[in-house]
């Protein structure tokens, strides 16, 4: 039988609530990190970790997070989407053309 006493103690220490702010996210992540730092987790701690992970997932899935990506990787991904053949030389040439031939927003001569 699943003994709920240990699980209830975890809930009392940090009651899981929907994450609505960066502060909530940081607090939840702190608890997750504390659990992950333990050498071994109990079944109840794994369950609690799972619940906290779901809360973070629910919060982050609604954010419009754009991953950091450099121009080279972006061009590779774009060409894959359009099924274009490419090699590093062609990609670098395209990047140069787009960066050298276009006036910068900081270029006061245009």
Q: What is the pLDDT of residues 39-55, one digit of tens each?
A: 999 999 999 999 999 99
Counting residues of the chain whose pLDDT is more than 90, the rounded percentage is: 49
Q: Long-range contacts of range 41-46, CB-CB < 8 Å, 24 or more positions apart?
A: 42/6, 43/2, 44/3, 44/4, 44/6, 44/7, 44/10, 45/6, 45/10
Q: How many whole angstroms separate alpha carbon 48 and alpha carbon 54?
A: 10
Least confident of 34-38, 72-76, 82-86, 91-95: 82-86
The whole model's pTM is what?
A: 0.57
Query: Which of 32, 73, 72, 26 minimizes the C-alpha distance to 49?
Result: 32
pLDDT over threshold 60, residue 6? yes
What does the pLDDT read at residue 47? Answer: 93
Q: How many whole angstroms separate alpha carbon 78 and alpha carbon 89?
A: 16
């Amino acid at each position: 039988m699943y003994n709920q006493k240990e699980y209830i103690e975890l809930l009392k220490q940090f009651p899981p609530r929907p994450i609505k702010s960066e502060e909530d996210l940081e607090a939840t992540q702190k608890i997750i990190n504390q659990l992950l730092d333990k050498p071994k987790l109990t079944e109840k701690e794994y369950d609690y970790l799972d619940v906290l992970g779901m809360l973070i997932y629910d919060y982050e899935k609604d954010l419009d997070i754009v991953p950091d990506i450099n121009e080279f990787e972006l061009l590779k991904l774009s060409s894959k989407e359009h099924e274009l053949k490419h090699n590093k030389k062609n990609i670098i040439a395209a990047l140069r053309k787009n960066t050298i031939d276009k006036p910068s927003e900081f270029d006061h001569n245009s």
